[in-house]
Structure 1
Amino acid sequence: MEGVGWFATIVIGILAGFIAEKVMSRSHGLITNLIVGLVGALLGGWLAGVLGIAFHGWWASLLVSSVGAIVLLFLLGIFRGRPSA
Structure 2
Amino acid sequence: MELIIGLISGAVGGNVAGKAVGGIDQGTLINSISGIVGGGLGGTILTSLLGAGAAGGGMDIGSIISQIAGGGIGGGAVLAIVSMIRNKMS
- TM-score, normalized by length of structure 1? 0.58
The alignment covers a number of residue pairs equal to 77
Q: Identify the structure with the greater helix proportion.
A: 2
Across the aligned residues of Structure 1 and Structure 2, the Cα RMSD in angstroms comes to 3.1
Structure 2 counterpart of 1:44, from 38, 42, 54:
42
* Structure 1: segments with no counterpart, 5+ residues: none
Written as runs of structure 1 = structure 2, the 5 A alignment for 1:30-41 is 31-41=29-39
Structure 2 counterpart of 1:19, from 16, 19, 26:
16
Aligned CA distance change for structure 1 residues 14 and 79 (closer, same or farther; 3 Å): closer
What is the percent sequence identity of the aligned residues? 25
Higher relative contact order (CA 8 A, sep 6+): 2
- TM-score, normalized by length of structure 2? 0.56
Higher CA-based Rg: 2
**Distance across 1 between alignment mates of 2:7 and 2:43:** 15
Tell whether the 8 Å contact from 2:11 to 2:72 is kept in structure 1 after alignment.
no
